[in-house]
Amino acid sequence: MDKNNIKFILVENEGVQLGILQKIIERIYKNSPIHIATTAQKGLEIIKTHGENAIIVSNLQLPDYNGIKLLEQVKELKLANCIYILSMKEDNDQIKIKALQEGVSDFILKPYSFENLIPKLRNSYLLIEAQFKVVAFEDKYLDLKKSFDVEILKIKDILDSIIVKRIPDAAEEIILIENAATWLCERLLTKKDNEEKITIINSSKLVKTGRIILDDKTINEPVMTDGRLTSQDMTLIPETNNLIFSKIKGYDQVAEILKHQYENFDGTGFPDGKKIWEIPLGSRILRVVSDYFDILKKEKNSDKAMDTIVNEVKRLYDFNVVAFFDQYLAETNKDGSKQEVPMAITQLTEGMTLSRNILTKAGFVLLGRGTQLTVENLSKLKAANSQEGIVGSPYIFDIASKEERTKVE
């Protein structure tokens, strides 16, 4: 924006004072447009059209209504870079307080003079100029960020192409990991944590990158089995991730997440032996999800793979992540013979069968998958929920068969 876009709007009904005000502004700010109104209503009409990037000087006493009421209406317009100066004949603290509450920027006492006007106008003018610089800086920053993001994507594409060539099914698995990580972020983070969510999702897309250092024999092997390294070569993965991403500006948090993906929840993992909440949330999420898909390749059965994960909560895995990931699998299990549906605890009844484990917020498996609900375990569930709470929602098998659901659809 050019500084000549700064305008003056004078809402003044006293002819002599208006003339003095106008001449002083014309003398100091020769290239700035000046708009004049002698009533509040006319002033409001001008402000609606020219109020952005404008310094408004309004008399307190106007023929139709006063300058404070005019300011109330101006506020509703939500104009950018609009500075409101109120002129008064008397220095009245009560009026000043009310005007400040409404958002007035400054005050000028009448009669207008060169000495009392110039500091007020100069400060307001400089403030709008500063806002122009901020906007210009933000625009430049966004342009640089777009350019930077393009370069990052190029690097990612190169790394992806290397991984996909060496691990044929990597592309499909990375998409599955990213989808799961995105779903988990929605449950484990709040709206104000949007930046962390983006970082975790970006990390999930790069979860296989560190494997480029491995030879063909080990590149597709699980990094850890039963919480222990499958081979010493696997220590190269977090080192490689850290080496690559810590050097890329803006990806230091991604580097941190990928570096600590193989820490065990009890502190026995690597590379730093971090435990519990010392481990970044993104690392805990990627550990559960990527381990699940590694186990699934071997077991060929989702329930067995998930049982392996659940049996290691609190030793290897964050139980919150495990519980929600189990529920994510329920949400995405659309091809099973039985539909899985979430239920409120108050909706559960005898005879229903749990399709997923129920974990407490203390990290214990309260009721396992396949449990048929009875009076006793319903009572146990309700008591646990009121005392310590459960993670997420209970999921049950829908009593309708797949064929019956198809007919309804």
Take residue 65 and report the two structure tokens written for it.
Answer: 């209504």
Give the position of tokens 């001449």. 23
Residue 405, C-beta contacts closer than 8 angstroms, at least 6 positions apart = 339, 398
Whether 166 contacts 219, CB under 8 Å:
yes
- What 8-state DSSP symbol labels residue 373? P
Element (H, E) at 199: helix 194-205
DSSP-assigned beta bridge partners for residue 36 = 10
For residue 141, the model assigns a pLDDT of: 64
Residue 88, C-beta contacts closer than 8 angstroms, at least 6 positions apart = 60, 95, 107, 108, 109, 110
Sign of CA dihedral 226, 232, 234, 239: positive
Tens of each residue's pLDDT in the chain, 409 residues: 344 479 999 999 999 999 999 999 999 898 899 999 999 999 999 999 999 999 999 999 999 999 999 999 998 888 888 999 999 998 888 899 988 888 898 999 999 888 888 898 988 888 888 888 777 777 776 666 666 667 666 776 777 777 777 887 888 899 999 999 999 999 999 878 889 999 999 999 888 888 888 888 888 888 998 999 998 999 999 888 888 888 777 788 999 999 999 999 999 999 999 999 999 999 999 999 999 999 999 888 999 999 999 999 999 999 999 999 999 999 998 665 678 999 999 999 999 999 999 999 988 999 999 999 999 999 999 999 999 899 999 999 886 444 444 443 4
**For 194-209, how does the pLDDT look when each residue is reduced to its tens digit (9 = 90+)?**
899 999 999 998 888 8
Element (H, E) at 108: strand 106-109
DSSP-assigned beta bridge partners for residue 390 = 360
Of 178, 169, 9, 3, residue with least CA distance to 82: 9
Whether 224 contacts 214, CB under 8 Å:
no
Residue 28, C-beta contacts closer than 8 angstroms, at least 6 positions apart = 118, 121
Angstrom distance (rounded) from CA 283 to CA 72 = 51
| CATH architecture entry for 3-138 | 3-Layer(aba) Sandwich (3.40)
Whether 30 contacts 24, CB under 8 Å:
no
Give the position of tokens 């409001």. 44
Radius of gyration (C-alpha) of the chain in whole angstroms:
33
Cα 362 to chain center, whole Å?
27
The amino acid sitting at 80 is: A
Query: Is-above-0.85 flag for pTM?
Result: no
Domain residue extents for the chain: 3-138, 167-332, 336-409
Angstrom distance (rounded) from CA 87 to CA 107 = 6
Q: What is the DSSP track for 261-300?
A: TT--TTS--SSS---GGGS-HHHHHHHHHHHHHHHHHHH-
The amino acid sitting at 81 is: N
For residue 142, the model assigns a pLDDT of: 65
How many residues can be counted in the chain?
409
Helix axes 194-205, 170-188, angle to 10 degrees: 160
For residue 408, the model assigns a pLDDT of: 37
CATH ID of 167-332, from 1.10.4160.10, 1.10.3210.10, 3.30.559.10, 3.40.50.10950:
1.10.3210.10
**For 129-157, how does the pLDDT look when each residue is reduced to its tens digit (9 = 90+)?**
888 877 777 777 666 666 666 766 677 67
Per CATH, the number for 336-409 is: 3.90.105
Give the position of tokens 């590694």. 294
Which region, left, alpha or beta, applies to residue 314 given φ > 0 means left and ψ of -120 to 50 means alpha?
A: left
Whether 106 contacts 124, CB under 8 Å:
yes
Give the position of tokens 């970044």. 280
Provide the 3-class DSSP secondary structure of residue 74.
helix
For residue 240, the model assigns a pLDDT of: 87
The amino acid sitting at 150 is: V
Take residue 355 and report the two structure tokens written for it.
Answer: 């399709």
Take residue 67 and report the two structure tokens written for it.
Answer: 């300058």
Angstrom distance (rounded) from CA 188 to CA 320 = 8
Provide the 3-class DSSP secondary structure of residue 378.
helix
